[in-house]
Amino acid sequence: MADDVSLTGKVKAKLVATKQAWARDGRLLTGEHGDPEHDRLPPGQTLVKDWPVLDLGVQPTVPEAAAGLMIDGLVEAPQSFDWAALQAMPQGEWLNDIHCVTQWSRYDNRWTGVAMPELLALARPKPEARFVTMESHDGYTTNLPLADLDRPDVLIAFTWEGKPLERQHGGPLRLVLPHLYLWKSPKWLKRITLVAEDQPGFWEVRGYHHRGDPWAEERYA
């Protein structure tokens, strides 16, 4: 994959410090638990109609020539998909809700993209692979249990509401993992590495939960 990504902006140190303080103080926690089988809106969330833009202050411009996805680490067949290869994969449509740890949720988001299990199947995870680390073009990282990534409702998204994914929302491609808080769905994703042990990412080392289930209100560690 080409490496001609440009970065605009700088990390918002004040925002990072504020959210780190939220984790330390347990801000936004209600102490409630929900049931995704019966409760569409997780505890403490507020429904919105727009799609708020949240990032660290850095928004990369990723041309299609530089867009793609690597899958490596504890796999039998490391993969490096460029944009053309991803576009050639079987694509589907998804309709789901998304939930941000900053307390907003948005219903009925329409996406097109590639199912994550199909990409993982090509890489063939080794038996000892239990977790993943993920890296984006802006330097952002996060972690997940492999089981949370290898689900039919998880996708690499190219479009939202019938249009190409905008840069501010992670375009040209991002992960969409609707059953966890949205910070676990990296924008501008470029690499997924399978590992044996959990390795916390950017927000996780700053006090946020390692998994992030909205119905269990796993906002913070």
Rounded to 5°, angle at Cα 36 from 214 and 185: 40
Whether 191 maps to a domain, the answer reads yes
pTM above 0.75, yes or no: yes
Determine the pLDDT at residue 114.
98
Could you say which residues of the chain have pLDDT below 70? Answer: 1-3
Q: How many CB atoms lie within 10 A of CB 123?
A: 20
Determine the pLDDT at residue 133.
98
Whether 156 maps to a domain, the answer reads yes
Instruction: Give the H or E element holding residue 65.
Output: none
Tokens of 44: 């403490």
Whether 211 maps to a domain, the answer reads no
Whether 219 maps to a domain, the answer reads no
pLDDT digits (tens, 9 = 90+) for 94-147: 999 999 999 999 999 999 999 999 999 999 999 999 999 999 999 999 999 999
Tell the residue number behind the tokens 């560690």, with chain if given.
221
Domain that holds residue 26: 8-206
Whether 218 maps to a domain, the answer reads no
Distance CA 124, CA 118 (A): 10
Whether 185 maps to a domain, the answer reads yes
Tell the residue number behind the tokens 């202050």, with chain if given.
57
Q: How many CB atoms lie within 10 A of CB 73?
A: 19
Determine the pLDDT at residue 54.
84
Determine the pLDDT at residue 107.
98
Determine the pLDDT at residue 3.
61
Rounded to 5°, angle at Cα 89 from 196 and 113: 80
Whether 112 maps to a domain, the answer reads yes
Tokens of 5: 């990504």
Distance CA 174, CA 188 (A): 5
Q: What is the CATH number of the domain that holds 196?
A: 3.90.420.10
Whether 221 maps to a domain, the answer reads no
If one counts the domains in the chain, the total is: 1
